[in-house]
Structure 1
Amino acid sequence: MPACLGEGMSNAQIAGRLHLSEATVQGHGSRVLDKLGCADRTQAGLLARDAGLG
C-alpha cells in the first residue's frame, strides 16, 4: 500500500488494484499514516517515493 501512495493513487484506484473495498483501503491508509508519523497522504507518498517505493 505505501507503494500505491507513492504512485499518487486514490483510495478507489488502490482498492481496484488490491481487490479490496474502499473502506478497507481508507482504514489501512489511516493506520499507515499513523505508523509513519505522516500528517497526510502527500507526505506519506513523498516518503514512499524517497524510499524507492513509488
Structure 2
Amino acid sequence: MKDGRGVPDLVHGVTFTVHRILASVVEEDERWVVIEGAPFTLRTGARQWTARC
C-alpha cells in the first residue's frame, strides 16, 4: 500500500527490515497478510516481530 506520493505505508511496530524482506512477496494483499500476521512468541505469549523470531 502506498500513499499518494508513492511512499510505502509501514505498519506500526514492524521494522523497515521486515517490510524490506517481505517485499519479495509479489502479491501486495498477500504481503500485507504476512506482515500483519507476526509470529507467535512462546516466551511472551504475544505475536510480534523481533530479532529473535
Flag the structure with larger Rg. 2
- TM-score bucket of the superposed structures, by smaller chain: 0.3 to 0.5
Q: TM-score, normalised by structure 2?
A: 0.33
Give 1 or 2: higher strand fraction.
2
| Structure possessing the higher relative contact order (Cα contacts under 8 Å, 6 or more residues apart) | 1
Give 1 or 2: higher helix fraction.
1
Q: TM-score, normalised by structure 1?
A: 0.33
